[in-house]
Amino acid sequence: MRAVDLIQKKRDGGELSSQEIDWLISGYVDGSVPDYQMSAFAMAVYFKGMSMRETRDLTMAMVATGEQIDLSAISGIKTDKHSTGGVGDKVTLILAPLVASFGVPVAKMSGRGLGHTGGTLDKLESIKGFQIERSQEDFIKQVQEIGVSIIGQSDKLVKADKMLYALRDVTATVDIIPLIASSVMSKKIAAGADAILLDVTVGDGAFMKTVEDAEKLSQTMVALGKEVGRKTVAVITNMSQPLGQAIGNRLEVLEALQIMQGQGRQDITDFICELAQIMLRLANVDKTLEDIHQNLVGGAALAKFEEMIAAQGGDLEDLYRPSSAAVITCIKAQKDGYITELPALEFGLIAMRLGAGRAVKTDSLDYESGIVFEKKVGDAVSKGDLVAKIYSHEILDKKVHTDFQKNVKIGRVQAENSEIVKIIS
């Protein structure tokens, strides 16, 4: 085979065989297919797409380029959860221990944030001593003993994905469904869980801007999971405004703690209970929302979270420490009315400028900076009411303050807001 022939075949709308896809991916990983040819192939896929069979073959060819974790030593149905990314998304911090509090094992590998989206590992690393690097043996042992562990993705898993994603990132071929689906699902399949909940975000702060595109991606990933024997459900969720109140690593940990102490906003509390119910059902555990809510706010989830933090070296005193940001800037409502828009992308970018996120992978993070919203879409405000607090280490540049203020949209009509848009199973 020759890479140029496969590129031309896909460029002209042809369908590659399983053998051709295996050859191309293994060749890319061993270096016999160079970056420039894989770039050309990715662009051909961008314009011509892939069939479901091709996408499945691509996914499994990628899985085969690295280790696959065997979780069979852990009893019960092992569960995992993945979000396609968003702003203020601290769901995993709460959902994983909440599900584990019902005796359902959660074995999760998470990633870091880039650009306007945050990463679960970055939030956990804002806790002094917390270890995200764990051996496979320690990872499995911890899930056996306490039912939950969240660690960084091993470099030995799905080598092709890391290489291909870096290439797509600089060749404008990120946002195409077959390549997104194969990237996500190759990692989830290699990570070894029996059941997978996919949180597919849609809207201003998400990669998927329309519900239609989110549905296509969800259907593709669910089908991929089911074809390899993994129980898989996708939930399309709203990312038109930041999720919850906080954006920023330390601030999001503190919000997660508030939610697990029954002090969080009702909307995000209810949202996490709904996700937990779906995840529990994937493990054949049927609980009412009332049961789940009780575990969330009654101390069971928090106890499990603390247990996980301690097991991975985290300092429980530091866990509850407030942000050490030296400057807190208050943003107040400019008029009476209702909050109608809080564009997630804009506020994610502002948080990144404060140091809470990375523009490029090599950027260091300021774990203490970020934003806490006191008002969200649909909330009533009077002129002068506190809308948000901005946490930083220096007095804000006037432009940051102006950019923030102009993106707080206030109108006369109360906007409706719901977190779950659709469930694909």
From the candidates 56, 112, 187, 230, which is the catalytic residue? 187
Instruction: Report which DSSP code applies to 154.
Output: P
Residue 157 DSSP code: S
∠ CA 21-214-358, nearest 5°, is: 85
CA distance 369 to 224: 39
Active-site pick, 10, 56, 78, 82: 82
- Write down the catalytic residue from 122, 161, 194, 366: 161
Instruction: Return d(Cα 209, Cα 373) in angstroms, integer.
Output: 23
Which of the residues 10, 134, 168, 389 is marked catalytic?
Answer: 168
Sign (positive or negative) of CA dihedral 131, 353, 166, 54: positive
53 an active-site residue? no
Q: How many whole angstroms separate alpha carbon 414 and alpha carbon 5?
A: 57
126 part of the active site: no
Cα–Cα distance measured from residue 410 to residue 378, given in angstroms and rounded to the nearest whole number:
10
Going across the sheet that includes 148-152, the strands are 148-152, 106-110, 79-83, 195-202, 231-238, 420-424
Number of H helices, E strands in the chain: 17, 13
Which residues touch 134 (CB under 8 Å, ≥6 apart)? 142, 149, 151, 312
Q: Which helix (H) or strand (E) holds 305?
A: helix 300-311
Q: DSSP strand E in 322-379: where?
A: 327-332, 337-341, 370-373
Helix segments in 64-206, DSSP class H: 91-100, 120-125, 136-146, 159-169, 177-190
How far CA 123 is from CA of 51, 187, 418, in Å, comes to 37, 21, 25
Is residue 293 part of the annotated active site? The answer reads no
Q: Is 183 a catalytic residue?
A: yes
Q: Is 369 a catalytic residue?
A: no
Which of these, 213, 79, 72, 230, lies nearest to 148 by C-alpha position? 79
Instruction: Give the Cβ contact number of residue 198 at 10 Å.
Output: 24
| Catalytic machinery residues | 82, 161, 168, 183, 187
